[in-house]
Structure 1
Amino acid sequence: MTAYQQQIDRLRELGPRTSGNDAHRALIEDVAADLKELAYNVHRDTHTFDRWDATSDQVGLQIGQQQIPLSSAWPYSGKTGPEGVTGELVLVHGLRKNWRAAAGKIAVIEVQNLDVPARLLLDSWEGDLPFETVANPVIGSELAGTDLTKAREAGVLGVVAVWHGIADAAAHGQYLPFTRDYQDVPAVWVPESARRDVLTAAENSATATLTLNAQKTPASMDTLWAVSPGTGPHANESVLVVTHSDGGNAVEENGHLGLVALARDAAATGHDRTIVFVYAAGHLRIPAVTKHGQATTAWLEAHRDLWSPDAGGLTAVAGLGIEHLGARHFATDPTTGEYAADGTLEPELLYATTTELAGLVRETWHGATEIAAPVKPGALVHLGEGEPLYEAEIPAVALVTGPLYLLAELDDDLVDINALTRQIDSFRRLQTHLAGTADPTSFGTVSMPGKPKRLASTTRALAFIATHR
Structure 2
Amino acid sequence: MDQVAASLPFLPSEDVVWGWHQELAAMGPRFTGSPGHESFTEWLKVQFGAVPGFQLQPPDSIPFQRWLAKGWSLRIDQDPMVGPSGAVPVSYYYPYSGMTNVGGVKARLVDLGIYMEGLSTSSFWAPANGAIALVRLPPYIQSMTFDQVPIGAFEPGRDQLSAVLDYVVHTGVLKNPVFSLRGIPLLDARNAGVRGVICVWSGMSDGMVANQYTPFAATYPNASGVPVPGDYGCPALWVGDSTGQWLAHSAAAGTATVTLTLTADITKDAVTETVWGVLRGAGGDGSSLIINTHTDGPNVPEENGALGMLALAQHFAQQGHSRDLYFVMATGHFQILQFDEPIPNARFVMGRDAISKWMVAHPEIYQRALAGVTLEHLGCTMWGDDDEGGYVRTGPCEWGTTYTTQKQGPINLDNLELRAYLEAVEATNRAGTPTGPVGTVLPAPIFFGEGAPLYAGGLGTVSTCALPSYLLQVGSLTEPYLLNLDKLDKHLIHGQVQSFCRTISTLDAAAAGDF
Q: TM-score, normalised by structure 2?
A: 0.79
Paired position in structure 2 for 1:353 = 405
Match of 1:192 among 231, 241, 257: 241
Q: Partner amino acid for 1:441?
A: G
Conserved in 2, the CA contact under 8 Å of 1:111 and 1:140? no
Paired position in structure 1 for 2:493 = 420
Q: Partner amino acid for 1:171?
A: V
**Quick one: structure 1 residues 61 and 179, their matched pair in 2 at CA, closer, same or farther if it must change by over 3 Å?**
farther
Paired position in structure 1 for 2:178 = 138
Distance in 2 separating the partners of 1:25 and 1:80: 26
Paired position in structure 1 for 2:275 = 224
Distance in 1 separating the partners of 2:41 and 2:140: 34
SS at match of 1:181: coil
Distance in 1 separating the partners of 2:390 and 2:17: 28
**Deviation at 1:128?**
4.1
Q: Tell me if 1:398 matches 2:463.
A: yes
**Deviation at 1:80?**
1.1
Match of 1:173 among 185, 190, 211: 211
1:34-64 CA-to-partner distances (Å, cap 9, x unmatched) read 1110142322011222322224x43324243
Paired position in structure 2 for 1:12 = 25
Q: Tell me if 1:87 matches 2:112.
A: no
Range that drifts further, 236-245 or 256-265? 256-265
Distance in 2 separating the partners of 1:90 and 1:188: 15
Paired position in structure 2 for 1:78 = 98
**Quick one: structure 1 residues 428 and 169, their matched pair in 2 at CA, closer, same or farther if it must change by over 3 Å?**
same
Paired position in structure 1 for 2:10 = none
1:361-403 CA-to-partner distances (Å, cap 9, x unmatched) read 2222247556643112232x20111111111121101111010
Distance in 1 separating the partners of 2:365 and 2:337: 23
Paired position in structure 2 for 1:49 = 64
Distance in 2 separating the partners of 1:212 and 1:121: 37
Distance in 2 separating the partners of 1:238 and 1:224: 18
Paired position in structure 1 for 2:329 = 279
Give aligned-pair identity as a percent.
31
SS at match of 2:234: coil
Q: Partner amino acid for 1:52?
A: W
SS at match of 2:61: strand
Conserved in 2, the CA contact under 8 Å of 1:170 and 1:404? yes
Distance in 2 separating the partners of 1:331 and 1:371: 17
Q: Tell me if 1:389 matches 2:454.
A: yes
**Quick one: structure 1 residues 85 and 251, their matched pair in 2 at CA, closer, same or farther if it must change by over 3 Å?**
same
Distance in 1 separating the partners of 2:275 and 2:258: 45
**Quick one: structure 1 residues 63 and 300, their matched pair in 2 at CA, closer, same or farther if it must change by over 3 Å?**
farther
1:2-57 CA-to-partner distances (Å, cap 9, x unmatched) read 101111111221121111111111111111111110142322011222322224x4
Q: Tell me if 1:164 matches 2:202.
A: yes
Q: Tell me if 1:119 matches 2:145.
A: yes
1:278-298 CA-to-partner distances (Å, cap 9, x unmatched) read 011111111332356211111
Q: Partner amino acid for 2:61?
A: T
Distance in 2 separating the partners of 1:372 and 1:86: 49
Q: Tell me if 1:67 matches 2:87.
A: yes
**Quick one: structure 1 residues 294 and 61, their matched pair in 2 at CA, closer, same or farther if it must change by over 3 Å?**
farther
Q: Tell me if 1:376 matches 2:442.
A: yes
1:110-136 CA-to-partner distances (Å, cap 9, x unmatched) read 122323232224222257462232222
Conserved in 1, the CA contact under 8 Å of 2:336 and 2:354? yes
**Deviation at 1:342?**
4.6
Conserved in 1, the CA contact under 8 Å of 2:400 and 2:437? no
Conserved in 2, the CA contact under 8 Å of 1:111 and 1:141? no
Paired position in structure 2 for 1:439 = 511
**Quick one: structure 1 residues 243 and 124, their matched pair in 2 at CA, closer, same or farther if it must change by over 3 Å?**
same
Range that drifts further, 21-30 or 317-326? 21-30
Distance in 2 separating the partners of 1:349 and 1:297: 21
Range that drifts further, 11-20 or 291-300? 291-300
Distance in 2 separating the partners of 1:158 and 1:346: 36
Paired position in structure 1 for 2:191 = 153
Q: Partner amino acid for 2:492?
A: A
Q: Partner amino acid for 1:217?
A: T
Match of 2:48 among 1, 18, 35: 35
Q: Which runs of 5+ in 2 are unaligned?
A: 1-13, 79-84, 153-163, 222-232, 343-351, 407-414, 476-481
Conserved in 2, the CA contact under 8 Å of 1:48 and 1:288? no
Q: How does 1:248-397 map to 2 (within 5 A)?
A: 248-290=298-340, 293-308=352-367, 315-335=368-388, 338-342=390-394, 344-354=396-406, 355-365=415-425, 366=428, 372-379=438-445, 381-397=446-462
Q: TM-score, normalised by structure 1?
A: 0.86
Conserved in 2, the CA contact under 8 Å of 1:90 and 1:105? yes
**Quick one: structure 1 residues 364 and 216, their matched pair in 2 at CA, closer, same or farther if it must change by over 3 Å?**
same
Q: Partner amino acid for 1:198?
A: L
SS at match of 1:25: helix
Conserved in 1, the CA contact under 8 Å of 2:99 and 2:263? yes
1:128-179 CA-to-partner distances (Å, cap 9, x unmatched) read 462232222121352x6x1212222222211110000111011111000011
1:290-323 CA-to-partner distances (Å, cap 9, x unmatched) read 3562111111111101012xxxxxx111110000
**Quick one: structure 1 residues 106 and 307, their matched pair in 2 at CA, closer, same or farther if it must change by over 3 Å?**
same
SS at match of 1:220: strand
Distance in 2 separating the partners of 1:202 and 1:61: 13
Distance in 1 separating the partners of 2:459 and 2:197: 41
Distance in 2 separating the partners of 1:192 and 1:231: 58
**Quick one: structure 1 residues 374 and 52, their matched pair in 2 at CA, closer, same or farther if it must change by over 3 Å?**
same
SS at match of 1:285: helix
How many residues are matched? 430
